[in-house]
Amino acid sequence: MSNAFFISPDNVNGNSFSLDKRESHHAFNVFRLGPGDVISLLNGKGIGYKAIIERIEGGIVHGRIEELIDQMGENSIEIIIAPALLKRDRFEGLIEKATELGVKEIHPLVAEHCTKRTVNIERCKKIIIASAKQCQRSYFPVIKEPNTMVKWLNKPREQCFAGVIGAKSRLKKFNYNKNLPIYILIGPEGDFSVKELDLLKELGVKLFSLGNRKLRAETAAQTTLSILNEFLD
């Protein structure tokens, strides 16, 4: 598989392209690529390209686009994950895997049992881009500013599911409308509070279980997304 690089739409002119300085540095100095090498280009908005490097001038990589691929590396379904905040390294691992597994948006939540209540959004964006490039996704997931779970639930969402310890249903038991977004809530390490569980039930959020073991939140997120990818996409 060819190496992938971010390309701004402004740097595409017909069948020609130019990488910015940062991406050119990675192509030339890190990956040691040169004229004749095939690469992938990702614009972060859902468009991918297969391209060939033609020359390097002034430290900038220039080349020719061979093929445009709409929705390159993207799922046919729209999944939005709303995970409760975790400690930094674990939350960053969660968003990295969520990106690889095709989510469109990440909505960090502050639940009652959260020990972490803030997140470095700019750092998370860099992780998302790096992960998208690694798995060659043409769309870079959007990460929102953290919101309390109560406020987040104030907005009606038709297909909303929450992973809950001890829930009776499994993900494959539900009916899904593939034309509508699927929202997935992942609770904190201590699970949702009694108040939060009551609110989920009151609002008609569908509760699901991932088995009889207590999983780490980041494991639960990855498992949930893997299951949805397997039987919905």
3-state secondary structure of 57: strand
CA dist 198 and 136 (Å) reads: 40
**Domain 4-70, CATH:** 2.40.240.20
Tokens 């061979």 locate to 66
Report the predicted TM-score, pTM, of the whole model to 2 decimal places. Answer: 0.93
Contact 214, 111 (CB under 8 A): no
Position 161, amino acid: F
Beta bridge mates, 84: 109
**Domain 79-232, CATH:** 3.40.1280.10
pLDDT at 204 (0 to 100): 94
pLDDT at 214 (0 to 100): 87
pLDDT at 231 (0 to 100): 81
pLDDT at 165 (0 to 100): 86
Residue span(s) of the chain under CATH 3.40.1280.10 come to 79-232
Angle at 86 between CA 111 and CA 109, to 5 degrees: 35
CA dist 189 and 182 (Å) reads: 23
> Strands 12-13 and 16-18, how do they pair?
antiparallel
Going residue by residue through the chain (233 aa), what tens digit of pLDDT does each one get?
A: 789 999 999 999 999 999 999 999 999 999 999 999 999 999 999 999 999 999 999 999 999 999 999 999 999 899 999 999 999 999 999 999 999 999 999 999 999 999 889 999 999 999 999 999 999 999 999 999 999 999 999 988 989 999 998 899 999 999 999 999 999 999 998 889 999 999 999 999 999 999 888 889 999 999 999 999 988 76
pLDDT at 163 (0 to 100): 94
Position 100, amino acid: E
**Two structure tokens written together for 163:** 């992973």
pLDDT at 191 (0 to 100): 87
pLDDT at 97 (0 to 100): 97
pLDDT at 160 (0 to 100): 97
Residue span(s) of the chain under CATH 2.40.240.20 come to 4-70
